[in-house]
Amino acid sequence: MISPIANKVHTIFVHVTDLESSVLWYTKLLSQEVDLEEVRKPVYNLKINHHTGVVLDAGPEGETKQVDPSKHPIFNFHTDDIQQAYSFVKELGYKIDSEPIHFDDFSFFTVEDPDGNVVMICTG
């Protein structure tokens, strides 16, 4: 039997405790405009320029989701210039876990969102 499941990632869910705080964090990271009046629980869809989406999920209205973040990157955002990206994130005052690490074919560093979810910024 051929699998009816497509060989592509459709949406990444990032579990958060405070939706507005997380929306601000991610939209600043991606230099996106946001109107907090339009942010409604339980989820917020980031504007992603690709077919894979990123959804910030704070859980049901009236509840505070308990988040147990992974100590490892859950996904990455791409950059063509790792040093420029690192400087930008540093200027935002975000918690950076590592200096850029360079390999022959790619470079990366990691940053933590307000809930401690580790996100990789990566070339290649």
Closest CA to 56 of 30, 82, 85: 30
Q: What pLDDT digit, counting tens, does each position of 17-55 carry? A: 999 999 999 999 999 999 989 898 899 999 998 888 899
Q: Is the pLDDT of residue 121 over 90?
A: yes
Q: What pLDDT digit, counting tens, does each position of 57-73 carry? A: 999 888 888 999 988 99
Q: Name the amino acid, one letter, at 61.
A: E
The pTM of the whole model exceeds 0.85: yes
Q: Residues in the chain, how many? A: 124
Whole-angstrom Cα distance, residue 121 to residue 82? 8
Half-sphere exposure of 82 (CA within 13 A, CB side): 19
Domains of the chain: 11-60+73-122 (3.10.180.10)
Report how far apart, in Å, the C-alpha atoms of 40 and of each of 3, 19, 37, 43, 59 are.
36, 8, 8, 7, 11
Q: Name the amino acid, one letter, at 6.
A: A
Res 42: pLDDT:
92
Q: Which two tokens stand for residue 83?
A: 């040093």
Res 114: pLDDT:
96
